[in-house]
Amino acid sequence: MTSNSATVAALTPHPLDFVEVAVLERAGLVESRHRGIAALVGPDGKVIDHLGVAKRLIYPRSSVKPLQVVAMRRAGLDLVGEELAICAGSHHGTGRHIGLVDGILAGIGLDESALQCPPAWPANPSARAEASGESKAAFNCSGKHAGFIAASKAAGWDVGTYLDANHPLQKLVEEVLVEFSGEPILHSTVDGCGAPLHTITVEGLARAMGKFAATEPEIVNAMLANPWAVGDAKSPDAIIMQHGMVAKLGAEGVFVIGLKSGHGVAVKIADGSLRAAPLVALRLLNRNGLLDDATYASLHAELTVKSMGGDQSLGELRAL
**Structural domains of the chain sorted by starting position, each given as residue range(s) with its CATH number in brackets:** 5-75+165-319 (3.40.710)
Helix (H, G, I), strand (E, B) or coil at 199: coil
Residue by residue, DSSP assigns 244-256 as T-EEEEETTTEEE
Give the length of the chain. 320
Give residue 170's pLDDT.
98
Give residue 1's pLDDT.
52
Give residue 3's pLDDT.
59
Residue 4 has pLDDT above 80, yes or no: no
Burial (Cβ within 10 Å: 0-12, 13-18, ≥19) of residue 9: exposed
Confidence of residue 192 (pLDDT cuts 50, 70, 90): very high
Residue 313 has φ and ψ, to the nearest 5°, of: -80, 125
Confidence of residue 2 (pLDDT cuts 50, 70, 90): low
pLDDT, tens only, 114-137: 999 999 999 999 999 999 999 999
Give residue 5's pLDDT.
84
Residue 144 has φ and ψ, to the nearest 5°, of: -65, -40
* Amino acid occupying residue 234: K
Q: Average pLDDT, stretch 184-196? A: 97
* Amino acid occupying residue 92: H
d(CA 165, CA 243): 36
pLDDT, tens only, 211-261: 999 999 999 999 999 999 999 999 999 999 999 999 999 999 999 999 999
Q: Residue 141 half-sphere exposure, CB side, CA atoms within 13 Å?
A: 26
Q: Average pLDDT, stretch 37-56? A: 98
Give residue 168's pLDDT.
98
Give residue 131's pLDDT.
96
pTM for the full predicted model: 0.96
Give residue 169's pLDDT.
98
Element (H, E) at 34: strand 29-41
Percent of the chain topping pLDDT 70: 99
Positive or negative: CA dihedral 87, 88, 91, 95: negative
Supply the mean pLDDT for the chain: 97
Give residue 6's pLDDT.
85
Go through 119-130 and write b for each residue having 16 or more CB atoms within 10 A of its CB, e for each that does not.
ebebbbeebeee
pLDDT, tens only, 287-319: 999 999 999 999 999 999 999 999 999 999 999
Percent of the chain topping pLDDT 90: 97
Give residue 71's pLDDT.
98
Q: Are 186 and 8 in contact (CB under 8 A)?
A: yes
